[in-house]
Structure 1
Amino acid sequence: MKVAIVVDWLTVYSGAERVVEQILKLYPDADLFSLVDFLEEDQRAFLNGKQATTSFIQRMPMARKRYRNYLPLMPLAIEQFDLSSYDLIISSSHAVAKGVLTGPDQLHICYIHSPVRYAWDLQHQYLSESGLSRGLKNWIARWSLHYIRNFDARSSLGVNVFIANSEFIARRVQKCYRRPAEVVYPPVNIQDFTLQRSKQEFYVAASRMVPYKRMDLIAEAFRQMPERQLVIIGDGPDIHKVRSKAAGAANITVTGFLPFPEMKRHMQEAKAFVFAAEEDFGITPVEAMACGTPVIAYGKGGALETVIDGRTGLFFPQQNVESLIQAVERFETTGHAISPESCREQAEHFSVELFRERFSRTVAVAIQEFNLHPSFSPTGV
């Protein structure tokens, strides 16, 4: 079969790119399509030497730094890719990648990280956090998101099979598209992390500094617990906000970006990893558990499927400072019962090898069904 792999954009090596990396290893002869490809040369190894065919957005003014500003043009851009010569199209989508145009004799499988979250249930949160909650910009943003939401719903009809990255996202797919989805958890490079049993007296939080990760909440909570040491690792647009929250707190260290070996060492030595985001899946908590480190996580989203309360970590029920403080204090009294071995064992359920096995099996079944019944849609209405 002639295979095309379609992604939203290629700008960093993060969670979605790890999925693409493994799909490319399963289908090494596939052609790659992306709205933009601004990866630096030292970041391209995961593409196995492939160059992506890009859209007209690649050539738009200031696209390298502001490609997200072209969101209203992305539906048009993704529809311009001519995939008519391909038998199998695999899209890895969290924005518009699944909107490529395909015909009735082409099988389209979408690995969906999420319906466009900022156009659906998280729209109001997105507008507030982006400073777009009033004025003319607010109305322009609302119109753009309305247009994206309609495109997102319409383009779901062109997908034969949805594969969601968690049960949480499968429920969101059902809510937004009225379509069921298979669940194949994303790959986590468990082998890059080693179990460490001895821990030190500090907590760690590591993430991109963007609003929904709520790193500012973690900083504020530990500000109110001066006896608890915290190391915050990461960089991004919210770094100044996080540093401001940590200012004057002797118990909080904000490192900014750290090379992988240093970040891993902190994750191995920490007494617990703190995670306050409502994440679609959440790779970093699994990486922490691979180090034998328990996780204190906000009890919503993908964390509920990776962390086992009382066995590999603890949940806090509300996404606020008070709830997190209570969870940390509870961990101080009960966390000794959580063993590093249990954490590592749980992390191994999300390995690269298991992803490849589950993903390839799901695709093989879809191909077989499609060949028998070309009009089939196993996740159809």
Structure 2
Amino acid sequence: MAVPTLPSRDPAWPERLALVHEYLIWPGGSEKVLQELVAFAPQAPLYVSLFSAHTLPPSWQELTIHTSFLQGWAKWLGVLRPDYHARLKYLLPWMPLAYESFDLSGYDCVISSSHAFAKGILTGASTLHLSYIHSPTRYLWENRELYLQREGLGRSGPVGAIGQWLLHRLRQWDFLAAQRPDLLIANSQHIRRRIAKLYRREAVVIYPPVPLQGLEPVADPSADYDLVAGRLVPYKRVDLAIAACERLGRRLLVVGEGPELARLKRLAGPQVEFLPHQPPDRFRELLANCRLLLFPWEEDFGLVAVEAQACGRPVVALNRGGAQETVIHGQTGILIPEASVEALVEGLRQADRQEWDPQRIRAHALQFAPERFHAQLGSLLRWAWPRFQAGERLDPREWSAQ
């Protein structure tokens, strides 16, 4: 009797792979990247600290998702709701332990998607850990005072001291956690430089995938409004966009939700309209018909700026962070020198004087398509896995030089 031939394993590809992400409560930019990671490794189970089925699209419920012990706590605290920001702070001290508690010993490779704690998972000597870093944990290293004030911890006395001590301890953990992955992947050159400064590590750069399906120029856009879109949090400086448009008498649509919503509504005049998170088809329609997208803040990458350009619409953006790599001044948008109302007003005036070519703007955005992300991530994994198994050190500069 003939012995059946078993399919041979690919020695350059790990057989058992898992994904790790931060909490899944509301869809944002990092969740769009996670969706492409799921498409890259569709059989891989997903580990998250928290998961909210009723605030996410139904497609997330089709995945194999493992949550941490914080899931039960979050239900009791009411964290798994659209207004989760106000309560999530109570779980913050326990987040490191939540990720360290995951048992990932059964996997050959784990890919973590991290803007805070996910990179801190514990893996054994035989498990390759690649960590895709959206940003070093922003509220630990930057905007600390703003974060403490927003969470009611920015006071003097015992409460303020406790808040400062907690962030100090979390910064210590965050630095140590960033040393655990075998290889760090930065989502931009901007983030690569921040990783080098804050974590003292080199990283490879793979730009985030921007799903471009359905994002394309329309024949005759209405172009009767400017657009701001994203989570309404303090660092995004939507207040500057409101003030600049008010000064110039321009109609502005603000799409998003978050803790800044009430304050921004108080600042806004009749020319500003606020919309909650929009369904994908409606949001694509808003992007394709806007006069331009306003992006007056420093972002780690900024998916929405690329989405607007895919629709052929120019972007007026702050000349810092990811916008320096996604917006070409004078060709796909205007880069302003500082985050101020005056600079934004001048940027809007420059944009009005410019003749824009929608097809040229879209062509620039195509370099960030998911196909390129999948190809680069696959190339990196095929490079890293055999070397890891051979006990070699993974030098990011070696892969980047290919």
Query: What per-residue deviation string (whole Å, max 9, x for no partner) do you get for residues 244-275 of structure 1?
Result: 111xx343323344333333222212221111
**Partner of 2:194 in structure 1?**
172
- Cα 1:307–1:322 change in 2 (3 A) is same
Cα distance, 1:376 vs. partner? 1.7
Residues of 2 paired with 1:41 and 1:168: CA distance?
31
Cα distance, 1:68 vs. partner? 4.0
**Partner of 1:86 in structure 2?**
107
Query: What per-residue deviation string (whole Å, max 9, x for no partner) do you get for residues 180-218 of structure 1?
Result: 111111111111212125342322212221212211221
TM-score computed with the length of structure 2 as normaliser: 0.88
Query: What per-residue deviation string (whole Å, max 9, x for no partner) do you get for residues 10-55 of structure 1?
Result: 11222211222222222222121111111328614156x2232111
1:232 to 254, 257, 266: 254
**Partner of 2:395 in structure 1?**
378
Contact 1:12 1:43 in 2 (8 A): no
**Partner of 2:246 in structure 1?**
223
Residues of 2 paired with 1:76 and 1:129: CA distance?
24
- Cα 1:76–1:42 change in 2 (3 A) is closer
Contact 1:197 1:292 in 2 (8 A): no
2:384 is the counterpart of 1:363? no
Residues of 1 paired with 2:277 and 2:133: CA distance?
28
- Cα 1:8–1:322 change in 2 (3 A) is same
**Partner of 1:56 in structure 2?**
69
1:24 to 38, 46, 55: 38
Which deviates further from its counterpart, 145-154 or 22-31? 22-31
Contact 1:4 1:90 in 2 (8 A): yes
Cα distance, 1:148 vs. partner? 1.1
Residues of 1 paired with 2:219 and 2:92: CA distance?
46
2:36 is the counterpart of 1:13? no
1:43 to 38, 54, 57: 57
Contact 1:99 1:158 in 2 (8 A): yes
- Cα 1:153–1:41 change in 2 (3 A) is closer
2:201 alignment partner, SS class: coil
- Cα 1:175–1:229 change in 2 (3 A) is same
Residues of 1 paired with 2:257 and 2:177: CA distance?
34
Cα distance, 1:58 vs. partner? 0.7
2:114 is the counterpart of 1:97? no
2:178 is the counterpart of 1:156? yes
Q: Which amino acid aligns with 2:104?
A: L
**Partner of 1:143 in structure 2?**
165
Alignment of 1:232-381 (within 5 A): 232-246=254-268, 249-333=269-353, 335-336=354-355, 338-372=356-390, 374-379=391-396
Cα distance, 1:369 vs. partner? 1.6
Query: What per-residue deviation string (whole Å, max 9, x for no partner) do you get for residues 323-373 of structure 1?
Result: 11111112222x22x21111101111111111111111112111122123x
Query: What are the ranges of 5 or more consecutive residues in structure 1 without an aligned counterpart?
Result: none
- Cα 1:342–1:27 change in 2 (3 A) is same
TM-score computed with the length of structure 1 as normaliser: 0.92
- Cα 1:128–1:309 change in 2 (3 A) is farther
Q: Supply the RMSD in Å over aligned alpha carbons.
A: 1.9
- Cα 1:160–1:379 change in 2 (3 A) is farther
Which deviates further from its counterpart, 294-303 or 57-66? 57-66
Q: Which amino acid aligns with 1:181?
A: A
Which deviates further from its counterpart, 292-301 or 29-38? 29-38
**Partner of 2:228 in structure 1?**
205
Residues of 2 paired with 1:129 and 1:324: CA distance?
26
Residues of 2 paired with 1:182 and 1:314: CA distance?
28
Q: Which amino acid aligns with 1:294?
A: P
2:153 to 113, 126, 132: 132
Q: Which amino acid aligns with 1:69?
A: Y
Cα distance, 1:231 vs. partner? 2.0
Aligned residues: 373
Identity percentage of aligned residues = 35
Q: Which amino acid aligns with 2:211?
A: N
2:273 alignment partner, SS class: strand
Residues of 2 paired with 1:217 and 1:127: CA distance?
22
Contact 1:104 1:375 in 2 (8 A): no
- Cα 1:27–1:165 change in 2 (3 A) is same
Query: What are the ranges of 5 or more consecutive residues in structure 2 without an aligned counterpart?
Result: 1-14, 398-402
1:253 alignment partner, SS class: strand
1:81 alignment partner, SS class: coil
Q: Which amino acid aligns with 1:180?
A: E
Contact 1:197 1:340 in 2 (8 A): no
1:191 alignment partner, SS class: coil
Residues of 1 paired with 2:281 and 2:213: CA distance?
13
Contact 2:26 2:55 in 1 (8 A): no
